[in-house]
Amino acid sequence: MSGEEEEGVERTARRLLHAYPWRVRTELGDEIVATVLDTLPPGAERLPWRDRIDLVRGGIRTRWGRRLPLGAHLRYFFGARIDDCWRQWVLDDLEAPGLRRRLALRSVLSSVAFLAFVGLGGDGSWPLAGVVVVVAAAVGVWRAPAQRIVIARRQGLLGPAAEVGDEWVLAPERAALPNLPVARLAVAVGVPGALAGLAAVVAAASPVPIPALDQPYHSAEPVGLGLLAATAIPPLVLGVGGGALLAVNAGLAARRLAAAPAERPVGHRGATTVAAVVTALVVAVVLGYVAVMVLARLLPWEAGTVGAAVAPASVGLLVAADRLRVAGRRRGMPIGLWDLVPRFAPRRRVMAIHAGTAALLPGAEPVPDAPGHPRG
């Protein structure tokens, strides 16, 4: 068999190797291909169909043999800790390429299940359902790197130094972020509310109904105080939170502006000038208006009433979201609400890493002097 033909067979075999799980492909791929070449019938110019089918079947069998049982799979999907005997499976899931795709798919599946449970997706509400699914997929893709750490922590692959034992290796100090979920929730709830509020305020205040869609928000009569109060409680809650975020971020901005030039973050693309802040707000208002107009088509909202109560929170939340994003980029990791207020920021603490998961935290090294280290 000529070298070219052998290369062709090898290429075909490597393509078919994708039937095998990633871990097996990485560790045994070369060996399997070598065995395939060894077992070729004499005079064969291409990989026979029988061998191709055999390879694919072997790969499927291997995947089946290594599969997580349904119960464990569901628990893993919903973020519950599964048995330690499946630790290798978890590691493979987190280390194999394509994590973004897998997490996006899981996001989409959970959102579809949620929509089906809630009853959205029929009777013309499918545009909203479609938006939810697309946003879920985008969030899955976007948050994959951070989610990897979260999953590793949930499955017991990362832990506090107190649990160090024979198989644990200490990592360099990393900040712990216990309040991150709360901060994220605040931003996730606050930002859409802020956008809608700002846009609705503009729409309600404009003397001319802007001809975007066929729902005018220009109210001809004054809205009653009782109705306003009844519909404004959730927005008022948002408003209080937004106000707090605004205060915190004002302090952060003041601190940054007061810092010496050498202390300013490198590569920071934030809004430290008034002009930049105003530009960002104008853009946000326009986008928010469009978003409200689109959402009004999908939901029966009384945007004018809600928007007027949300308006005070809108400014604070928008600025806060931008600050969180910028400050997170500077630190190289997303930061939580309490991190913005130094008094409440959690102290750094040492984390222990299972020896097999060092790949999950690049730059992790054993710290020989730290207490509890197996050799220390």
Partner 1 sequence: MRDATFHILVALARGERHGYGIIQRVGELTDGAVRLGAGTLYGALDRLATDGQVVATRTEIVGGRERRYYALTDSGRGALTAEVERRAALVAAAEAEVAHLPGLAGEPA
Contacts with partner 1 by CB under 8 A lie at: 20, 24, 28, 30-32, 34-36, 38-39, 50-51, 53-59, 61-62, 65-66
Task: Compute how many other C-beta atoms are within 10 angstroms of the C-beta atom of residue 340.
Answer: 21
249: Cα separation from own chain's centroid: 23
**Smallest separation, CB 81 to partner 1 (Å):** 22
Q: Which parts of the chain fold into alpha helices (H)?
A: 3-16, 22-38, 49-65, 70-77, 87-95, 99-118, 126-142, 144-154, 180-205, 225-258, 274-298, 303-331
Q: From CA 158, how far away is CA 170, in angstroms rounded? A: 10
- For residue 41, the minimal CB distance to partner 1 (Å) is 9
Shortest spacing between CB 73 and partner 1, in angstroms: 17
Nearer to partner 1, 32 or 313 (CB): 32
Output the smallest distance, CB 61 to partner 1, in A. Answer: 4
Question: Is residue 110 within 8 Å of residue 136, measured between CB atoms?
Answer: yes
Nearest Cα to 359, choosing from 169, 107, 142, 101?
Answer: 169
With respect to partner 1, which residue has the nearer C-beta, 55 or 129? Answer: 55
* DSSP state for residue 265 in the 8-state scheme: P
Q: Least distance (Å) from partner 1 to the CB of residue 32?
A: 5
Question: Minimal distance in Å, beta carbon 19 to partner 1?
Answer: 8
By beta-carbon proximity to partner 1, the closer residue of 5 and 10 is 10
CB of residue 39 to partner 1, shortest distance in Å: 6
- Do the Cβ atoms of 106 and 94 come closer than 8 Å? no
> Which amino acid is residue 209, in one-letter code?
P
Taken in order 346, 76, 137, 116, the sign of the CA dihedral is negative
Other beta carbons within 10 Å of 249: 20
Which C-beta is closer to partner 1: that of 58 or that of 156?
A: 58
Task: Please say which residue, 61 or 81, places its beta carbon nearer to partner 1.
Answer: 61
Query: Of 41 and 362, which CB lies nearer to partner 1 in the complex structure?
Result: 41
Which is nearer to partner 1, 20 or 217 (by Cβ)? 20
Neighbour count for residue 329 (Cβ, 10 Å) = 16
Asked if 115 contacts 129 with a C-beta cutoff of 8 angstroms, the reply is yes
